[in-house]
Structure 1
């Protein structure tokens, strides 16, 4: 699948020249425009001075600043997708990056095809940010949880939930299927696409961060029920109270 000219520029932030060249070559072959940065300072300079960057592929182990700090700085003014590409494989590192505002997390060594699949998903998500159609502009209410699908905003008890794009997409998918158990594979295909449907660890990390944000007491969930080995279900709060 070749990129189109209006998809903007992908900024590859990676200090390892071999990895940077590998990613750049893969993007070139598939028609994506890109630029490269070997440090956090160079990346932030480009991000703050350019208007054509639509996506960031970001290493965490940069020589001058941690990549998580780059995400936090970027989230101060932009919601552009950030795909973390890192050698750090611990769940704590994934959670820290996702909590800071990363949209996706891929560990090294990585499959080029999987990275490209995630790039395609992230760029498609940008298209979803266009104004909602009348059929999409609906309000979902479940106890204190409210989702304005038209605005792309979720609140609990009147306070906005600061969700990453993938967290919001997971929440919207579960909300639109309230009461139904959605399998891991179904959720992965709907959110990430067929090419990455085997990435169950990433789904578990995202669901953990989402639960922390929407549940009053994550240890005793009212909204998100885990069906071990199967998937997840959005409960009506009245149903949750009986479980």
Structure 2
């Protein structure tokens, strides 16, 4: 049974989310304090975290930032704030999705299922495939979902890893933002294409010696992105 952690200080909202998720067979735990929610998420194993942005003691941005140092667990960030910069910041810190209140609990359940299924699908590689990709000092281990640059491990969020693996698995091929979004987020994510650019920027900051002059993730203006393995 899949286990979900809801970090939300509005108890009525958290309990409503829990009720809908439990109907679908999920085990759900609730934490209303930001710092306690972070500690709980680090001490226990969860399949997905629903994370409110505005929380007492520690906000959702900081929780997401700290979690992404050690964990690739899918994170859906929830907020009443509608500003694009908050969404871009949340996704840039490693959140897999961003939902604005008020929203349909059924939509939340659909997104939870989609993110867990996508995470499991992208983690479950066939045994007869090569488990590692090595490109110019960059090593991507598929089964452990770990990335190393010149033998030093680089922390990646779940979506950052999925995106890097997708591009590296299609070397020297130009992929449009639409193709990337469809393969990594899928239609059920209901987001926008700016999400792709945000994640590309974050990956470049982690693997490129000069993000403004990338050697791995190249921009092909007017067409999309290309992973250069030459």
- Smaller-chain TM-score range? 0.7 to 0.9
Residue among 211, 219, 226 paired with 2:204: 211
Residue among 28, 35, 45 paired with 1:34: 28
The farther-off stretch of 187-196 and 95-104 is 95-104
**CA deviations over 1:13-45 (Å, ceiling 9, x no partner):** 112345334423432443323122222144245
Q: Secondary structure at the match of 2:108?
A: helix
Residue among 195, 218, 227 paired with 2:188: 195
Could you tell me how far apart the structure 2 residues matched to 1:25 and 1:126 are? Answer: 23
Change (3 A) 1:197 1:58: closer
How far did 1:121 drift? 3.2
Query: Could you tell me which residue of structure 1 aligns to residue 112 of structure 2?
Result: 119
How far did 1:56 drift? 1.1
The farther-off stretch of 42-51 and 25-34 is 42-51
Q: How many residues align?
A: 230
How far did 1:222 drift? 1.9
Extract unaligned runs of 5+ from structure 1: 1-5, 238-243
RMSD (CA atoms)? 3.1
Quick check: 1:133–1:150 contact (8 Å CA) kept in 2? Answer: no
Aligned ranges for residues 38-187 of structure 1 at < 5 Å? 38-44=32-38, 46-47=40-41, 50-51=44-45, 53-75=46-68, 78-90=71-83, 93-94=86-87, 96-98=89-91, 100-110=93-103, 112-125=105-118, 127-128=120-121, 133-187=126-180
How far did 1:46 drift? 4.0
Could you tell me how far apart the structure 2 residues matched to 1:159 and 1:13 are? Answer: 32
Residue among 214, 222, 228 paired with 1:221: 214
Residue among 7, 11, 14 paired with 1:13: 7
Change (3 A) 1:218 1:109: farther
Could you tell me how far apart the structure 1 residues matched to 2:51 and 2:60 are? Answer: 7
Q: Secondary structure at the match of 2:47?
A: strand
Query: Could you tell me which residue of structure 2 aligns to residue 24 of structure 1?
Result: 18
TM-score where L is the length of structure 2: 0.80
Runs of 4+ residues over 6 Å off in structure 1: none
The farther-off stretch of 110-119 and 58-67 is 110-119
Extract unaligned runs of 5+ from structure 2: none
Quick check: 2:131–2:142 contact (8 Å CA) kept in 1? Answer: yes
Query: Could you tell me which residue of structure 2 aligns to residue 241 of structure 1?
Result: none
